[in-house]
Chain A
């Protein structure tokens, strides 16, 4: 088996671990006295981790020159969506048990929930159009559409920041990681523009 295939399968299996662990911990009582809260937190942070991980693929590919890494991007993005789905399901089923009225009120009145829901709605079209068929059909528009992932990563991080009461160490780390990853892209975009204009003036 090629090393890359092995890597891909390992990552695939590793990212199933949080979901499996949640089921196991909940059944064995190790999720603690407030399992719903624990599941909400874990699915949320795992979704954010996957989302930020998916943003490392392009920089890693450019830095390493290994183009096959691109194949990891969709998997990581879909994992982010998978955990985001679990997160939203936990909130609507376990936390509120389909109390639509309260949920709607929360989405409108609580900024952190508004942002969480926004993030989910941003990820939804990206997940749907992640197939080969959609990539072909949308052509260049696909690339433009999937830039929404930057917005989703930002709203997800702010969502996390606003949930926290006073201990901002974790959201601060995520914000830092995200800034670095988006910073790479901003730098490259600028770099791509500068030579062209300087070439023109020469």
Chain B
């Protein structure tokens, strides 16, 4: 007699292989969906989902004429290889150690020579502005580069809204100081918290943005969630991450890398192939994913737009 045994699992119940392989993403997406649905009243429900560890799409992102048409680096490069010393000094430390970082709720303090000082919730802070995709080259001072599709808001629009007083000549940004979450801050490799600054005309330049996302999604922790600076004609270290304070001042801020080593890092940090870092050449760079080095371009290729900011300056001295 032939005994037919019904299989314990019907085929319809088997998870499709593709989905199975992406099960983590699937779980995250499901979680994000659930949280998103619960938070539909809030326009930034998707952003909240990100705080739970998921990857959430940003809605209504406009394209921008400032974007490059160059080949974009894969998501894995952008989110798996970067410097964010708050999470460790190796290139994959931010990805490893940033996973549990809590980037919501988040408050940004606006201080100094400005008409509207105060504490702003991140979502209230970003909401008045339309999100734009800006595909920019990023050139690290360590002579590697990437092309990254940021999502952000023009810094100039934010500054106009905040209404700086006439005496404000510089903008200073500060990263969160929280050694409990940011393990790297327990080691005094830099004078924490991280500080960066821009001259007011640099900050008002249309290329400068505050990024809140990349690849059309909410900014991952390791890339500086929830909000970071992107100044594409300057070396990457100017792009301060996880900003908690914006201060308008009449004095040139002392940025962390300049404090750490004034001989090697300056305030301006414009990408400049003719001014070498004291320890290595800046004439060429390796675009991640390419084998041969390529020549580094003045102002990282944004010279047409930004050279005018520095026309009266000796860039060898103001490096």
Chain A residues near B (Cβ < 8 Å)? 32-34, 36-37, 94-97, 99, 102, 105-106, 109-112, 162-163, 165-167, 169
Contact = CB atoms under 8 A, between A and B. Distances in A.
B91 A32 contact: yes
Contacts, number: 55
Contacts of B76: 33
Contacts of B283: 102
B279 A110 contact: yes
A106 B279 contact: no
B189 A166 contact: yes
B261 A111 contact: no
Interface stretch (B35-43, B202-210, B286-294): B286-294
7 contacts: A33-B77, A33-B288, A36-B286, A106-B280, A166-B85, A166-B89, A166-B189
Interface of B: 73-74, 76-77, 80-81, 85, 89, 91-92, 144, 187, 189-190, 260-261, 276, 279-281, 283-284, 286, 288-289, 291-293
Contacts of A95: 286, 293
A170 B231 CA distance: 32
Contact of B281 (A97, A105, A165, A169): A105
B167 to A, nearest CB: 34
Contact of B280 (A32, A36, A110, A167): A110
Given A102-B281, A109-B281, 5 more contacts: A34-B81, A37-B91, A94-B291, A111-B279, A166-B190
What does DSSP make chain A's interface, helix, strand, loop or mixed?
A: helix
A167 B89 contact: yes
A99 B283 CA distance: 13
A32 B78 CA distance: 11
Main secondary structure of the interface of B (DSSP, over half): loop
Contact of B91 (A34, A96, A99, A169): A34
Contact of B286 (A32, A34, A111, A162): A34
B279 A37 contact: no
A32 B284 contact: no
Contact of B284 (A102, A112, A163, A167): A102
A37 B82 CA distance: 13
A156 B134 CA distance: 43
B281 A106 contact: yes
Nearest to A94: B291
Contacts of B281: 102, 105-106, 109-110
A169 B81 contact: no
Given A34-B81, A97-B292, A111-B279, A166 B260 contact: yes
